[in-house]
Each structure stands twice: as structure tokens, then as C-alpha cells.
């Protein structure tokens, strides 16, 4: 499966480099604006030039925030479009003629999407950690440091360090699992469409409609297990996990079922 994942990265290298390039360009723009703002603030923080530089700095930060959402969308599209392309183009021969199980093929594509998503999320989080104090500094405000911020967060929510880290880690897991479960639902929709509408007009539209239908079904199912009226408080880490665990388990079950269903259909039903 590792070889398949490696080839997923190779196939998507251009798009990955484009996304990386956009993020790097926006980060460079932010750094340039932060430097300019800090320089002008040091000379005269009430000047028109300093105010203008601050506006540019906030715009640069906003662009980075938008880029984060754009990156998440790009990774989702990359993962889903790659799978759809594999089933509908002749390159599918290259993948499916190899002695690799269909489970490995689907799993490799999902893992590629997950690794790419985690990688970009890590990069953007690192930039945010670097940029946030720099922005406050450039705007002439005091940066108290991440330790103090965490300390404030824990005090406000009556958490200890372990509790805070567990809560954050748990949230990150829930979010990533939820995203990857959504990608697996998209795979299931594409595979179902390829199975029953092969070569027919409108099978792409059917894939989209199936995805929407399955996603709606998933949300209905989630609502049965997850009570939105439950009292959620960061100060009750154990309670929070108790409330979110069914969601986590449901996403894991949907992910497993979707992958197994895709692998089975690819093996038994889909014709290339």
C-alpha cells in the first residue's frame, strides 16, 4: 500500500506544489507586510502610512485564513476527483492490473487524502503560530506568549494541562475523522455510480446526487446519536468526550463500511 500512496503523491505533485506555492506566496506577503508595519510603527505609529500598513497586514492575515479554507477544499477535491478519474479514465488499467487488492487501492487513496490534509493543516498551524505574535507585535500590541495564552485558556475553563491537551487532541481527531468519513462517502457514491451507470450519460451527476443523499443520511444518523442540546463545556473534558464519542465511533463505522463496500464493488462489479 505504501507504493500506491507514493504514486498518489507523484500523480498529484503538480497540484500539491500549486497549493504549497499559493500558501508560501501568501505567507511571504504577510511577512513583508508585517515587517513594513513594524518599521512604520517604530517611526510613527499614528502616521497615515502606518495605518495603511496595518490595514494591509490585516488583509494579508485574512488572505491566509481564506487560504486555509481553500486548502481544505482543494485537498477534498484532490482526493475525490483522483478516485473518480481512476475509475473513469484509461489510467485505471495501470492501477487495477497490478496485483494489489482493491482494498489497498481504495485505502491508499484515502490515506493519501488524510496525510495531505494533516500535512497542510500542520503547515498552516505552524505559520499561524509564527504569524500571530508577529502580527500583534507589528500592530504595537503586547504578545504575552503561547504559554500564557494556554494558561488563560485553562483557567477560564477550569482545566488542567492534561485535560486541555486531551480536549484539543480529541477535537482534532473528531474533525479529521469526520472529513475522511465524508471523503469515503464520496468514494462510495462514485463507485455506486460506476457500478450501475457505467458508460451512461449523466453518471457524474448521479455521483453528486448520491453523495448528497448519502451525506444527508449520514447527518440524520448522526443526529440520532448526537444530542445537540447536550450541555457542552470545555471545563468538563470527560463529559465532552462522552458526548462526542458516539460521533467519533459513527464516523469510524461509516468510514470502514464505505471502504469495504467500495473494495467489494470494485472487485466484483465494476468493469474497467
Long-range contact list for 63-72, CB < 8 A, 24+ apart?
Answer: 63/26, 63/29, 63/30, 64/23, 64/26, 64/27, 64/30, 64/124, 64/127, 64/128, 64/131, 67/22, 67/23, 67/26, 67/124, 68/124, 70/22, 71/19, 71/23, 71/120, 71/124, 72/117, 72/120, 72/179
Residue 189 beta carbon to another protein: minimum distance, rounded to whole angstroms: 21
**Of 48, 142, 229, 271, the one binding another protein by CB under 8 A:** 271
**Residue 119 beta carbon to another protein: minimum distance, rounded to whole angstroms:** 20
Cβ-based nearer residue to another protein, 157 or 195: 195
Q: Looking at beta carbons only, is 176 or 264 nearer to another protein?
A: 264
Instruction: Verify binding: residue 18, another protein, rule CB under 8 A.
Output: no
Judged by CB under 8 A, the residue of 5, 11, 143, 215 near another protein is 11
Using alpha carbons only, how large is the chain's radius of gyration in Å?
Answer: 23
Nearer to another protein, 85 or 242 (CB): 85
10 lies in the binding site for another protein (CB under 8 A)? yes
User: Which of 94, 129, 130, 209: binder of another protein (CB under 8 A)?
Assistant: 94
- Is residue 242 part of the contact set for another protein (CB under 8 A)? no
Amino acid at each position: 500500500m505504501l507504493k500506491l500512496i507514493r504514486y498518489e503523491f507523484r500523480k498529484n505533485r503538480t497540484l500539491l506544489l500549486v497549493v504549497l506555492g499559493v500558501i508560501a506566496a501568501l505567507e511571504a506577503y504577510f511577512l513583508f507586510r508585517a515587517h513594513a508595519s513594524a518599521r512604520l510603527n517604530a517611526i510613527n505609529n499614528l502616521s497615515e502610512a502606518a495605518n495603511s500598513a496595518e490595514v494591509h497586514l490585516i488583509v494579508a492575515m485574512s488572505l491566509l485564513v481564506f487560504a486555509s479554507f481553500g486548502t481544505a477544499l482543494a485537498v477534498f477535491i484532490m482526493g475525490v476527483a483522483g478516485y473518480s478519474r481512476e475509475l473513469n479514465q484509461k489510467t485505471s488499467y495501470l492501477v487495477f492490473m497490478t496485483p494489489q487488492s482493491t482494498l489497498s487501492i481504495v485505502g491508499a487513496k484515502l490515506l493519501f487524502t488524510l496525510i495531505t490534509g494533516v500535512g497542510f493543516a500542520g503547515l498552516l498551524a505552524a505559520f499561524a503560530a509564527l504569524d500571530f505574535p508577529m502580527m500583534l507585535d507589528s500592530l504595537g500590541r503586547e504578545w504575552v506568549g503561547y504559554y500564557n495564552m494556554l494558561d488563560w485558556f485553562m483557567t477560564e475553563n477550569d482545566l488542567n494541562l492534561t485535560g486541555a491537551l486531551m480536549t484539543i487532541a480529541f477535537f482534532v481527531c473528531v474533525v479529521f475523522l469526520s472529513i475522511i468519513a465524508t471523503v469515503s462517502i464520496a468514494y462510495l457514491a462514485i463507485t455506486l455510480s460506476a457500478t450501475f451507470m457505467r458508460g451512461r450519460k449523466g453518471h457524474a451527476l448521479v455521483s453528486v446526487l448520491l453523495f448528497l443523499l448519502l451525506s444527508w443520511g449520514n447527518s440524520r444518523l448522526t443526529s440520532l446519536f448526537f444530542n445537540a442540546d447536550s450541555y457542552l463545556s470545555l471545563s468538563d473534558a470527560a463529559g465532552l468526550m462522552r458526548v462526542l464519542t458516539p460521533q467519533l465511533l459513527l464516523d469510524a463505522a461509516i468510514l470502514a463500511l464505505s471502504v469495504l463496500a467500495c473494495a467489494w464493488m470494485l472487485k466484483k462489479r465494476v468493469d474497467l
